[in-house]
Structure 1
Amino acid sequence: MVVAAAIKEVIEIPEGVEVIIDKDISIKGPNGQISRNFSYPNVKISKDDNSIVLVTSFPKKKDKSMIGTTKAHLNNMIKGVTDGFTYHMKIVFAHFPMTVKVNKDKINIDNFLGERHPRMANVVGGAKVSVKGDEVTITGVNKEDVGQTMANLEQATKIKGRDPRVFQDGIYLVSKE
């Protein structure tokens, strides 16, 4: 069995992005700022001139996977503060016209399948939701917040007790950017 002495991954920092490494890693860019704590004991994170360096010594299988996971999270954070994340959803209804309204950190879905009580979905973190006609757009710098907000909206319109092949009403993901 051959064990590698160390694994090193390097992430380039693009122009206009500032990275601060303390207990938490803060990444600041033109669209905003994200801060996150990466506390895995065998992964060391440091900063060179214009790159972030991830190193693990005498890695086991879990250490190798954590290097890859940490690298993916950091790449998502950098993409978020430079380009941002946008999810487009579509409101679909056959008979009862549902209305979707945004109130700060809640989304109200009225008249879903003719129900009298409105359904609610939470907006997570710094995600921004806008509704225009039958289009719902969710934007933000944190991929996890945008994705969870989208999932909350999709789950709020989940149909129970009816055949989903017949009753296809709901709010569905169309595209991600």
Structure 2
Amino acid sequence: MVWNNIPQCPAVHVQRQCTQCLQTQSEEPLPFFCKMHLKNTVSVHIPAEVTLTVNKQEITVKGPRGELKRNFDMVPLDLLKTADALQITVWFPRGKLNAMPRTIASHITNMITGVTKGFYFVMKAAHAHFPMEFVVKTGLVEVRNYIGQKEVHTTEILPGVTVTADKEKKNEIKVTGNDIEAVSYTCAKIHQSCRIHNKDIRKFLDGVYVAERGTL
């Protein structure tokens, strides 16, 4: 069946309420443009203590704990700010693009949580024989005596992240910050700095692991 003879009504086609299409198609399936969604919109609530600014595709979030910025120009979306919400819209979404509004909304929600509460990760050193020691310096975290090595395993602390050593529990450190990606990436780098090489990782489990995480 040829659909070129049908009068053009794109808006009604998308809503799947075109009477001319339904009368003409008989028992044949609807064409692809009748099955496409017009848009996918997700809203993010903005708390009263948070100031959110939209500049094209760049979003700035300010709160009691500080300020975070992020650019989403890699995604073709519309950002509309209302009094207490931010609407994220993708037009004619297909495939992975249909999931983008929810992904962007999750990033913005993490930014709002970061500037209001903040995030923390607790990392513990696990050892079988050789106890490890944490040394926190300006911009660096050192892990010493890893499986008895004399080498000092050093990890750089990302900007906006704070690492503190527990005086009572010497095998623990606490990583805090507003940006959840910077905090979690710092923890990942600390974990990867103490990996065993040329041995069975099922047997040799010495290392630094995340034991707890949450909001401050």
Taking structure 2 as the reference length, what is the TM-score of the superposition?
A: 0.77
Deviation track 1:70-121 (CA, whole Å, cap 9, x = no partner) reads: 1111111111111111111111223222211112222111111111121111
Letter in 1 for 2:158: V
What residue identity is the alignment partner of 1:67? P
- In the other structure, the counterpart of 2:161 is 127
Structure 1 unpaired stretches of 5+ = none
Match of 1:7 in 2: 40
| Inter-partner Cα distance in structure 1 for 2:100 and 2:68 | 20
Structure having the higher Rg: 2
Separation in 1 of the partners of 2:128 and 2:75? 53
Equivalent position of 1:160 in the other structure: 197
Separation of aligned partners in 2, 1:95 and 1:58: 59
The correspondence for 1:48, drawn from 82, 101, 111, is: 82
State the structure with bigger RCO (CA 8 A, min sep 6), 1 or 2: 1
State the percentage of identical aligned residues: 31
Alpha-carbon separation, structure 1, partners of 2:76 and 2:203: 52
Is residue 43–residue 63 contact of structure 1 (8 Å, CA) maintained in 2? no
- What is the alpha-carbon distance in structure 2 between the residues aligned to residue 145 and residue 17 of structure 1? 21
- Alignment partner for residue 91 of structure 1, among 99, 102, 125? 125
Structure 1 SS opposite 2:47:
coil
Q: Distance in 2 between matches of 1:87 and 1:158?
A: 19
Moved more, 151-160 or 94-103: 94-103
Q: For the residues of structure 2 that align with 1:160 and 1:149, how far apart are their CA atoms?
A: 21
Greater than 3 Å deviation, 4+ residue runs: none
Query: In the alignment, does 2:74 pair up with 1:37?
Result: no
**Between Structure 1 and Structure 2, which shows a larger proportion of strand residues?**
1
The range that moved more, 144-153 or 87-96, is: 87-96
1:142 aligns with 2:179: yes
CA contact (8 A) 1:97 1:112 kept: yes
Any conservation in 2 of the 1:30–1:81 contact (CA below 8 Å)?
A: yes
Unaligned runs of 5+ in 2: 1-31
Partners of 2:132 and 2:171 within 8 A in 1: no
Question: How far, CA to CA, are the matches of 1:43 and 1:119 in structure 2?
Answer: 43
Q: 1:95 to 1:79 in 2, by over 3 A?
A: same
Distance, in Å, in 1 between the alignment partners of 2:145 and 2:75 is 50
CA distance in 1, matches of 2:200, 2:97: 45
Q: How does the TM-score come out when normalised to structure 1?
A: 0.93
Compared CA separation, residues 135 and 69, structure 1 to 2 (3 A): same
Q: Describe the SS at the equivalent of 2:79.
A: strand
Cα 1:12–1:99 change in 2 (3 A) is: same
